Amino acid sequence: MNLKSKNIISIRDLNKEYIETILSKAEEMEEVLNNNQSLDIMKGKSLANLFFEPSTRTKFSFNAAMQKLGGQVINLEDVDSSSIAKGESLIDTIKMMEKYSDLIVIRHPNEGSARLAAEISSKPVINGGDGANQHPTQTLLDLYSIRRLKGKIEGLSVALIGDLKHGRVMKSLAYALAMFNAKLILVAPIGLEMSKEIVEELIEKFNADILQTNNLVSGIKEADVVYVCRVQKERFEDAYEAEKMQKAFRITPDLLKYAKDGLIILHSLPKTTEIDPKVDKMKYAKYYQQTFYAVPVRMALISLLVK
């Protein structure tokens, strides 16, 4: 399947064949990394990282991926030190960056911003997170992680735990897991449930098997995979409210007494208080391994999209 010059804006734009192409390319890239090799297929090409919101893993793993492919990276390091601070519009920023680069990765607080960038840019655009909406490349590496660690996606019970109302990672992932016929257990504190529209969409499009609960124990008992995200404090009007919810929802060793033996715990990171640090040392915790998979998956994406 030819993906050259395509944009990756929403998981809804990708079908199974498209995703499979990316995941199998990522396997090849992981082999390159495991053999301590690097490639030069992106020699002379550059990737522009435009981050209007904080990022560690997404930005640095795109950097690492481009460098492993022999390419260059241009980073918009600090919005306050660029012309954006002088009032330059997103449209003008994109019109300029497409002249300096072969692929644009954008993270922006406004929903729909990545779609707008893709409409303007003649170079492919990747959505690195637009507000509380979508984060499709995180989903690709999450699918890759599940497959590498559990051997399959289809038929697994995956519990998505945390702020399902604002978590863009969870919205993208729920869609992809339904597409791949996993069973979804949606576990959220009261008030932070996944929107009814999304749940209905997944049932309508994929006939998805979905259990919704506010109870952590019942979420964990059934799960083959537990995927946790933090309460997205920056999307709340009242920070105190966010902290209260955060404290009430926490994965602890005690809770994991209910876990299936082969359970894996994933987290897009950054984590705050939603996972007890004691869990980091337990056999279930795979989130640091998951951060490694970001590099081969993003190498795959870059190599498939850039002409």
Among 19, 97, 118, 169, binds ligand NCD (CB under 6 A): 169
- Minimum Å gap between C-beta 301 and ligand NCD is 14
Among 172, 268, 290, 303, binds ligand NCD (CB under 6 A): 268
State yes or no: residue 230 binds ligand NCD (CB under 6 A): yes
State yes or no: residue 183 binds ligand NCD (CB under 6 A): no
Q: 90 and 108 in contact (C-beta within 8 Å)?
A: yes
Write the DSSP symbol of residue 20: H
State yes or no: residue 168 binds ligand NCD (CB under 6 A): yes
State yes or no: residue 138 binds ligand NCD (CB under 6 A): yes
Q: 130 and 113 in contact (C-beta within 8 Å)?
A: yes
The helix (H) or strand (E) run that includes residue 113 is helix 113-120
Among 229, 259, 263, 304, binds ligand NCD (CB under 6 A): 229
Among 7, 49, 58, 246, binds ligand NCD (CB under 6 A): 58
State yes or no: residue 173 binds ligand NCD (CB under 6 A): no
In 126-225, which ranges are continuous DSSP H helix? 136-150, 168-179, 196-206, 216-222
Report the distance separating Cα 246 and Cα 200, nearest Å. 27
Judged by CB under 6 A, which stretch of 6-14, 79-87, 93-101, 264-272 contacts ligand NCD? 264-272
Residues whose CB falls within 8 Å of the CB of residue 79, separated by 6 or more in sequence, listed in order: 52, 85
Question: Which two structure tokens, joined as six digits, stand for 96?
Answer: 């300029």
In the chain, which ranges are continuous DSSP H helix? 16-34, 57-68, 90-100, 113-120, 136-150, 168-179, 196-206, 216-222, 239-248, 287-305
Judged by CB under 6 A, which stretch of 21-29, 89-97, 150-158, 266-274 contacts ligand NCD? 266-274
- Minimum Å gap between C-beta 135 and ligand NCD is 5
State yes or no: residue 145 binds ligand NCD (CB under 6 A): no
- Minimum Å gap between C-beta 36 and ligand NCD is 25
Among 9, 42, 105, 129, binds ligand NCD (CB under 6 A): 129
Ranges assigned E (strand) in 201-289 = 210-213, 225-228, 264-267
Q: 223 and 157 in contact (C-beta within 8 Å)?
A: yes
Chain contacts with ligand NCD (rule: CB under 6 A): 57-58, 129, 135, 138, 168-169, 229-230, 268-270
